[in-house]
């Protein structure tokens, strides 16, 4: 599963916002869409209904967690007929400053019926990957699933304890724990969606996972389809077929995208010469690299660097 860590490093997964809520009936909150993000809600006390899309409603019981990967808008409620209040309005009415507990609802009391831990992850702008494309509208972690996944269960317990302890360094601790949480949710919920299940199977497969690792860690090598297949002990045709089936893309197409996305990260995050970056990601010709990068992103490597504020 180290390849999954490589993939999330490429996507620049970052935990960024966490807070507790205390909701008293009747209550309903409309959470707006947020691009390049994945949100989660962990029920600590009481129940919560989560409506994702027009018709799909999920009930969270104590200990349940829902992860909404695509940053889609959704509604949290107690199931009453209360009209959903926009999150921005809720924050204003409650006077929530970003610290402590967001208290909201009919009586707006701190010992409310429903308590949640909410947060979100972000991904770098412009990144793409079969894993992101395979994620369903939501993933659900229930008490039954937690019983089968001890690492996931322990992470959720640790996050809950840290959020309510309010000790120094709590925010940094929760951020790091939640980034690990994202990985464990992906692994534990893989069977909830066929496309996601295939990508996770590819990562864990002895040969396809090995091929992914070779691509991620040896980008500068002059790979061919035959060369990668040979490295993992498969025929060219069988390797290409199995990779396409699991990852929903061709091996060399995956490699080409990986090279350009890694180049984009290096351009924005380092001062290395563009020619050096081109070589690091497998391009021997700076001109070929510039053409491929421009075709992919609509601007040149130099323009990408200038946008990032680097010379």
Range of the domain at 74: 2-190
Task: State whether 186 and 218 are in the same domain.
Answer: no
Residues 162 and 243 in one domain: no
Instruction: Let me know whether 145 and 221 are in one domain.
Output: no
Helix (H) or strand (E) holding 15: strand 14-24
Q: What is the mean pLDDT of residues 46-64?
A: 93
- Average pLDDT across the chain, whole number: 91
- pLDDT tens column, 193-215: 999 999 999 999 999 999 999 99
Give how far Cα 165 sits from Cα of 116, 159, 168, 176, 241, Å.
15, 10, 9, 16, 51
Q: Are 256 and 171 part of one and the same domain?
A: no
Residue 196 lies in a domain: no
- Judged against a pLDDT cut of 80, whether residue 171 lies above it is answered with no
Residue 197 lies in a domain: no
Do 41 and 168 have their domain in common?
yes
Give buried/exposed letters for 14-39 (b at 16+ CB in 10 A, else e).
ebeebbbbbbbbebbbbbeebebbbb
3-state SS of 55-92 is CEEEEECCCCEEEECCCCCEEEECCCCCCCEEHHHHHH
Contact status, residue 48 vs residue 59, Cβ threshold 8 Å: yes
Is the pLDDT at 308 greater than 80? The verdict is no
Q: What's the CATH number where 82 sits? A: 2.60.120.10
**Number of domains composing the chain:** 2
Which of 108, 159, 120 lies closest to 40, judged by CA? Answer: 120
pLDDT of 77 reads 96
Statement: residue 241 has pLDDT above 60: yes
Using pLDDT thresholds of 50, 70 and 90, give the confidence band for residue 311.
low
Judge whether 76 lies within some domain: yes
pLDDT band at 42 (very low <50, low <70, confident <90, very high): very high
CATH of the domain at 263: 1.10.10.60
**Mean pLDDT to the nearest integer, 123-146:** 92
Contact 182, 8 (CB under 8 A): yes
In a domain, 71, yes or no: yes
Beta strands in 124-168 (DSSP E): 139-141
Is 176 or 57 the better-scoring residue by pLDDT?
Answer: 57
- Which of the listed residues 131, 155, 190 is the one where a domain comes to its end? 190
């Amino acid at each position: 599963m180290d390849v999954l860590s490589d993939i999330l490093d490429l996507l620049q997964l970052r935990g960024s916002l966490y807070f507790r809520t205390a909701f008293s009936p009747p209550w309903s909150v409309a959470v707006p869409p947020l691009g390049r993000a994945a949100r989660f809600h962990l029920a600590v006390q009481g129940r919560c209904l989560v409506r994702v899309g027009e018709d799909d409603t999920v009930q969270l019981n104590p200990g349940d967690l829902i992860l909404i990967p695509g940053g889609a808008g959704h509604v949290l409620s107690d199931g009453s007929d209360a009209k959903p209040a926009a999150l921005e309005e809720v924050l204003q009415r409650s006077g929530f400053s970003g610290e402590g507990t967001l208290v909201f609802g009919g009586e707006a009391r701190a010992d409310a019926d429903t308590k949640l831990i909410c947060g979100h992850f972000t991904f770098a702008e412009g990144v793409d990957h079969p894993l992101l494309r395979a994620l369903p509208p939501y993933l659900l972690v229930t008490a039954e699933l937690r019983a089968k996944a001890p690492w996931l269960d322990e992470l959720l317990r640790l996050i809950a304890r840290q959020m309510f302890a309010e000790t120094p360094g709590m925010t940094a601790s929760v951020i790091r724990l939640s980034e690990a949480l994202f990985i464990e949710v992906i692994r534990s919920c893989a069977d909830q969606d066929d496309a996601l299940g295939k990508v996770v199977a590819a990562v864990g497969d002895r040969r396809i996972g090995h091929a992914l690792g070779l691509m991620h860690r040896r980008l500068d090598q002059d790979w061919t389809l035959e060369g990668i297949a040979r490295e993992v002990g498969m025929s060219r045709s069988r390797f290409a077929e199995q990779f396409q089936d699991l990852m929903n893309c061709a091996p060399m197409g995956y490699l080409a995208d990986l090279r350009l996305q890694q180049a984009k990260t290096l351009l924005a995050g380092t001062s290395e010469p563009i020619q050096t970056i081109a070589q690091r990601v497998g391009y021997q010709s700076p001109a070929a690299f510039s053409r491929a990068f421009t075709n992919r992103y609509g601007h040149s490597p130099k323009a990408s660097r200038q946008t990032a504020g680097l010379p």
